[in-house]
Amino acid sequence: MHIKFCGAAGTTTGSQHLITVNGHKILLDCGLYQGHRQESFHRNKEFDHFDPAELNAVVLSHAHIDHSGNLPNLVKQGFTGNVYSTHATHDLCQVMLRDCAKIQAYDVEYLNRRYAKRGENKRVEVTYDQMDAEQAMRQFVNIGYNRKIPIADGVMMHFRDAGHILGSAQVVLDIDDREDGAKGRLLFSGDVGRGNNELLNDPIAVDGVDWMIMESTYGGREHEMPASAREELSEVLKDAVAKGGKVIIPAFAVERTQQLLFVLHDMIENKEIPRIPVFVDSPLAVSATEIFRLHPECFNEEVYDRLFGRNNPFGFEELTLIRSVQGSKALNKSHEAAIIISASGMCEAGRILHHLRNGIGNPNNTVLFVGYCAENTLGRKIRDGESPVNIFGEPVDVHAEVVAVDSFSGHADHSELMEYFTKTGGPKKQVWLVHGERSRSEAMRDALAAAHPDSEFQVAELGMEVTVKGDL
């Protein structure tokens, strides 16, 4: 068995890991790299580490764009095999990949106008368009949790719930490599959820693991608050509402937005916060919220009961869902106190940029972060206290209060990752750490090595190749 790390090695975005068994090539995830615009365009447009036409299959851990977003480009460049995912991941990708293509078109148009304005002889093109996204969706094969299926010669695959977002999965590959003699179970963690989530089931422990590709996003770092720490969020919102301004929440359209709606609904019903208009200004988030109701198999018992019971957990009297551009513009012009949830969570694209440009200079407003922001993103710069920040190419001074509530993070922190690894059964002989900034992955490696001396841990590097052999 041969493993090559083609993305999310030394960084948290662009997840791509290539497995070669018995001459068959399987790509685990096909995510977009997110960072500096020009670097991102190149890294996403070209597959430097493999030929898409030579791949036999792709397996998706979940629908987040840094794990699924380059699939249309893969298909465009010659991949004709199956894309395996859970049912919910398929449904989310159906709207997310088209949305991603649309955002790319806007970005490219903006950059080309900027180059022309400066008199620069440069031009960029979209990585893929909405038709490419539609073609990619035709290659999906949807599998329920715990359903085993052969995906290549000597490779049996099944999904286990990862508790990260709707439909997220750990990928379990049972390997019989007759060329290298490697026979055993490889686990790709995908992104691991925290557990005790308001909506989702806890991650399910996998048994009998021999080798492991494991995420390390929060290595060496603990969340400031436990999952479901509603009191802290309640205090932040009450203080923000008292100032009479807007609470602007950059949130991923999938899972984070729905989790917020669920909690806000309860808070307003239980009078934990004042009644205040809540707007979701993101066509993708609106579509994703509708998809959530179609997948009760992903929810914990409380949410499952409410879906079929007295009320809709993702809708309430104070909530307005905005799809249209006109509605978004009207919201920007409004001076009334409100909670505005808009994508993207890292502030790299979407309508959140307009809300930030119009509202971040007002000291009565609050910008509330409820999730992780990768290096070099606008969200990270705002979270880190930079001012001014560039929005649409123009500097904007930050006067709004900036607050982060990490209890809504969908990623397990250091201690939770340690617990996840301990609960994973089997010898776990070799472990490769991915999906983390290098310092985070190294911190995770050192802690795991100290606690589990019988396992071998290595931080994956971009382009790194390893061969796993058994007794022939």
296 near 357, Cβ under 8 Å?
no
Distance of CA 346 to the CA centre of its chain: 10
Look at residues 131, 203, 199, 191 and name the one whose alpha carbon lies nearest to residue 160.
203
- Higher model confidence: residue 116 or residue 189? 189
Which of 3.30.565.10, 3.40.630.30, 3.40.718.10, 3.40.50.10890 would CATH assign to domain 230-408?
A: 3.40.50.10890
Tell me the three state secondary structure of residue 211.
strand
The CATH class for the domain spanning 2-221+410-467 reads alpha beta
What interhelical angle do 87-118 and 283-292 show, nearest 10? Answer: 180
Sorted by where each begins, the domain ranges of the chain are 2-221+410-467, 230-408
Tell me the three state secondary structure of residue 364.
coil
Strand partners, 250: 342
Residue 79 tokens, joined: 């991949």
Number of Cβ within 10 Å of residue 232's Cβ equals 15
Instruction: Choose the weakest-confidence range: 87-91, 144-148, 178-182, 338-342.
Output: 178-182
pLDDT, position 251: 86
- CB-side exposure of 284: number of CA atoms within 13 Å? 31
Mean pLDDT within 72-79 = 97
pLDDT, position 192: 97
pLDDT, position 37: 66
- pLDDT tens readout for residues 403-454: 988 777 788 999 999 999 999 999 999 999 999 999 999 999 999 999 999 9
Rounded CA separation 88/465 (Å): 32
- pLDDT tens readout for residues 95-137: 999 988 988 887 788 778 888 888 888 888 889 999 999 999 9
Vertex 240, ends 340 and 379: CA angle to 5°? 55
pLDDT beyond 60 at 310:
no
Tell me the three state secondary structure of residue 158.
strand
Task: Categorize the per-residue pLDDT at 211 as very low, low, confident or very high, splitting at 50, 70 and 90.
Answer: very high
pLDDT, position 399: 96
- pLDDT tens readout for residues 243-253: 999 999 998 77
pLDDT, position 225: 63
Rounded CA separation 431/460 (Å): 9
pTM of structure: 0.86
Write out the DSSP string of 210-273: SEEEEE-TTTT---SS-TT-HHHHHHHHHHHHHTTSEEEEE--TTTHHHHHHHHHHHHHHTTSS
Strand (E) or helix (H) holding 247: strand 246-250
Rounded CA separation 57/361 (Å): 48
Instruction: Choose the weakest-confidence range: 31-40, 84-93, 278-287.
Output: 31-40
